Amino acid sequence: MCGLLGILTAQGDAPRFVDTTARALPCMRHRGPDEDGTWNDDDVVFGFNRLSIIDLEHSHQPLQWGPSGEPDRYSMTFNGEIYNYLELREELRAEGYEFATSGDSETIVVGFHHWGSDVVNHLRGMFAFAVWDSVERTMFLARDPFGIKPLFYATTDAGTVFSSEKKSILAMAQDIGLGLGLDDRAIAHYTDLQYVPEPETLHAGVRRLESGCHATLRPGDEVTAVRYFEPTFPVTPVPSGQENALFTRIADALQDSVAKHMRADVTVGSFLSGGIDSTAIASLAKQHNPDLITFTTGFEREGYSEVDVAAESAAAIGVEHVVKVVSPEEFAAAVPKIIWYLDDPVADPALVPLYFVAAEARKHVKVVLSGEGADELFGGYTIYKEPLSLAPFEKVPSPIKKVLRTLGDALPDGVRGKSLLQRGTTPMEERYYGNARSFNYEQLERVLRIARPEWDHREVTAPVYAKSRDMDPVSRMQHLDMFTWLRGDILVKADKITMANSLELRVPFLDRVVFDVARTIPHELKVGNGTTKYALRRALELIVPEHVINRKKLGFPVPLRHWLAGDELYDWARKNIEDSATDHIFDKAQVLAMLDEHRVSMNSGSGPDHSRRLWTVIAFMIWHGIFVEHRITPDIDERDYPVQL
């Protein structure tokens, strides 16, 4: 695990960028406080920050390896973990290869020599890595199938720079001739969706290699991504009477995945909320570590904490349990720091409690497991039930649908049936945009000065929908979420916020073997029997405590709607809006009016809840204050952690 940074120069003048790279490394020291350094030849500079997890005394990076006669042909830097590295080492040894370390990093570069670019299809894990072949003079960049680990890049006349953190690329901007202009389209997408969709970033010159992609480039080349993994759901019906066999396959795949995710030379803990996903992971992890410690967080407000349920689950599975309760004051004070760590804003307030529970966990362990990805793979979001409720509309002739749509639009807001009529008469490609959207276009036009009709959510979702025409409606929604919400929000916050605390987070649900089972589940076993994740719940009946099996998902809920209307965050929000130099982007008068309308609504008990829309705008304004105006300077403390816990 580390933060990687590198530049493939266009003119073969890499030595002049060694100091530039070294100066940019401290921007991501949090990703790897155990060890840092640089390596270069005439074409390439690699930099790294290492968080030592496996083979602590060796497996230093950048790593050099080569076959007999070419001992230093390849150089590699790598962020992530390969969980099947032991099996791959044995497979490669059988082909005659020798290893100098006992870690997973060397497995990648040896595998690259043996399999070429297809090495990515042999890896079970989370990864972003760069391999330089000094003989062929090619750079190979790759990212894991689901997008667990990030990889940013920018190409200028000086060459292509790539990194685990955008802020490290920004720190090199002047020396490599990179412009720092913002991308208005990306800003519009962020404001609409609450996150910046891949491959965009808010800076026009910086992009991300997309999940499930790799790229091969020579000095002077642009990055051209090649997709090697497409998370499709080609479901085949389960034969009658074979459902239990499917449930067993799910349980076996999870057992195997968690066992491999527990591989480490340091202590591994687990996050634990009150839901089935994290409880399942913790229950399985306990089988491999009897001294497992679990961690949760909450707030001192009724209905916004799973602390009690998590504690009950921890007692039921017999693990030590640590709780962190977050106050409104702590919440507000941490936001600028968290946004700095994010690189680009993600308007998900659950980031803040995650930051605090990660900080608490890092006092005890160096690695944690978590339940991200279960909803997307197994059908866990309530919205996935929508195709069932809207099924009758599929039989309605188009002319009648138009009449029903007109009727639905004419009904006053809040009238029962209005939303059903509107959604039932709207094609899925237009009505479903993933699990988060802050504004509809009319609302967006009022507050976002740079809004354009062509920049709405369909610009992001249409290419994804085009690939899923042959899937059932539930599978199409899952497929879309894996390209939008999962990698835009869920995995960004999982990586960035835990790494902010030099804590490695592992996600056993997002494993290719688990996915290969999940993609075969028919839709009636995903959202059947009045619940979500039905097949997963059945598979876990003998693994998780009974009180969790059918419990409604909460995650890390935040009382944001109340705080923005009350004394906790109202004044804080108003000041952040008023101080922001973003008048050219947002109509601040409209944003302030929205804040006041929200306050009246919450205090009167009727009216619109603008909390998520407000949070989306305020998070951007704080980001702008940090990265553009340089008006806000977060207090980033340089904590020292022991190498091994």
> Cα(first)–Cα(last) distance of the chain, in Å?
15
Q: What is the pLDDT of residue 496?
A: 97
Q: What is the pLDDT of residue 389?
A: 87
Least Cα distance to 503 among 359, 293, 321 occurs for 359
Contacts of 160 (CB under 8 A, 6+ apart): 7, 8, 10, 139, 153, 154, 217, 221, 222, 223
Note the pLDDT tens digit of each residue in 301-314: 776 667 888 888 89
Q: What is the pLDDT of residue 52?
A: 62
Mean pLDDT by 10 residues, the chain (645 residues): 91 97 93 86 93 57 87 93 95 94 91 98 97 97 98 98 97 96 97 96 98 98 97 82 92 97 90 90 94 91 75 91 93 95 96 94 94 95 90 87 87 82 89 82 92 92 94 94 96 96 96 96 87 94 83 71 94 98 97 97 91 97 97 81 41
Q: What is the pLDDT of residue 579?
A: 98
Q: What is the dihedral of CA 565, 297, 144, 476, to 10 degrees?
A: -60
Q: What's this model's pTM, rounded to 2 decimal places?
A: 0.94
Least Cα distance to 426 among 408, 439, 444 occurs for 408
Catalytic residue among 2, 139, 268, 492: 2
Note the pLDDT tens digit of each residue in 406-428: 888 888 877 888 888 988 998 99
Q: What is the pLDDT of residue 645?
A: 40
Q: What is the pLDDT of residue 213?
A: 98
For residue 303, say whether it is annotated as part of any ligand binding site. Answer: no
For residue 104, say whether it is annotated as part of any ligand binding site. Answer: yes
Residue 361, token pair as written in the block: 């966990």
Q: What is the pLDDT of residue 53?
A: 59
Assess whether 213 carries a catalytic annotation. Answer: no
Residue 192, token pair as written in the block: 């609409």
Least Cα distance to 473 among 510, 439, 410, 431 occurs for 431
Q: What is the pLDDT of residue 554?
A: 57
Could you please report the per-residue DSSP string of 411-422? SPTT-TTHHHHH
Q: What is the pLDDT of residue 177?
A: 97
Q: What is the dihedral of CA 132, 134, 137, 143, to 10 degrees?
A: -10
For residue 371, say whether it is annotated as part of any ligand binding site. Answer: yes
Residue 475, token pair as written in the block: 């599978």
| Residue 140 β-bridge partners | 131, 216
Contact predicate 582/435, CB 8 Å: no
